[in-house]
Structure 1
């Protein structure tokens, strides 16, 4: 079976690393991204260099029409076999009482509504043997006090989405799992106002360092592979011991 995988947030960080990893594993890739055309072009070039087909499409995952367009683009490559629900945002780090309602809505819209819309499209189009991987966070169980409790709460919802959808889609032979990264060295920390957070957090991580995007991409690739054929409803924690 030819592997056709959709990745959201595929131009940077975990999404970009996953696109490259899956291309080398034999997947054709359709990925969405928000605005960095140069970064998207670089990822697409690497997919093609790996000998795989690829398409990159600007896509706001909170917009149902744009989500549909991304999955339609993937359909041009063939029958959908995988989804990596990865597009996510944080907001400025700070006390819970100072949370801006607009930031709250944006975090919920992208990290939860976007995941649901993409999972819906995938579930409508997938057949037996396909798989979904949701990118959650170790924050879901740590709570992220003093940083972004609302983000942690939304990631806990991602875990619940994973559990419920895994049970609903299992009779159709579709698997649904999640990865829960800890502190990973990506530019998402810049958007939260603390680009040095991975280095500062290293002292409280049992392994003594932040993780790298490739370390998450490897886990995602495994969950999409036949090696994980009896794995569904799992949340795989990749957080250096946190």
Structure 2
């Protein structure tokens, strides 16, 4: 469970620092319309955060997440954004700041996978789109977060969480070596960016989910993957998106105030 400070505690601390004492924190989540991003958005709202989330094609699902947050008494915003397009990413952050005034946390969760293939059979357009979304998209999101959160640039500090995958350690041979490679790049970004932004009051961490029950497996052409591989994990089952969301919220919150440059496995021991 994350440990976000209460509104009164946050207001008091920011007032003492001479900053805008707005008591409510805000989080921006890319890929927030489904899977881990959706569960992270809903959990953030339950913790009292205002939520901006992005989507590409799943507008109805994104609006459903917003409606569920509003039903919880929260505040949310959904913005169409292809993270591989710089103008989209800048526009997403602009919209969040226009709505909430500031951003305190960023979760780079947008990513794609493709049907299982060996590298020798992967066409160039697949590789280019995989790298554009998963690597370039994450770097653009992290760059904008650095620009908006860094204290030397007028930000209030905060936290960034980048979504990696246990595939970065397993390699995903014969299936998704392209996807695995993109997540390895994210692991490296966590380490370097944490060192860059620590002096700016910004913590940067990553989460490596394992086999998680989400829609991504179907989009990768293996809708039975969870049922087939879940029992092979040391814990004997696949994970749930809500379990990954708990780790993300902890890394965003005050309970992880001395954690930066870390990548946490949420993978049932895989």
Same fold (TM over 0.5): yes
1:26 corresponds in structure 2 to 48
1:68-147 residue pairs with structure 2 within 5 A? 68-76=90-98, 77-126=100-149, 127-147=155-175
Among residues 188, 192, 203, which one is paired with 1:164 in the alignment?
Answer: 192
Choose from 253, 256, 259 the match for 1:225: 253
Q: Deviations over 1:120-178 (max 9, x none)?
A: 11111113440000000000011111111111111010000010000000001100000
Equivalent-residue separation in structure 1 for 2:43 and 2:157 (angstroms): 20
Task: Return the TM-score normalized by structure 1.
Answer: 0.98
Task: Give the corresponding residue for 2:179.
Answer: 151
Question: Which of structure 1's runs of 4+ aligned residues deviate more than 2 A?
Answer: none
Distance 1:27 1:48 in 2: 12
| 1:35 CA displacement | 1.1
Distance in 1 (CA, whole Å) between partners of 2:231 and 2:40 is 27
What displacement does 1:46 show?
A: 1.3
Equivalenced residues, count: 242
Listed as ranges, the gaps of 5+ residues in structure 1 are none
Aligned partner of 1:4 in structure 2 is 26
Specify the SS of the correspondent of 2:28: strand
Q: Which moved more, 1:124-133 or 1:8-17?
A: 124-133
Counterpart-to-counterpart distance in 1, 2:80 and 2:122: 29
182-191 vs 45-54, which deviates more? 45-54
Q: Tell me if the contact between 2:231 and 2:238 (Cα under 8 Å) persists in the aligned partners.
A: no
Query: Quick check: 204-213 or 80-89, which moved more?
Result: 204-213
Find out whether 1:206 has 2:234 as its counterpart.
yes
Q: Distance in 1 between matches of 2:139 and 2:73?
A: 31
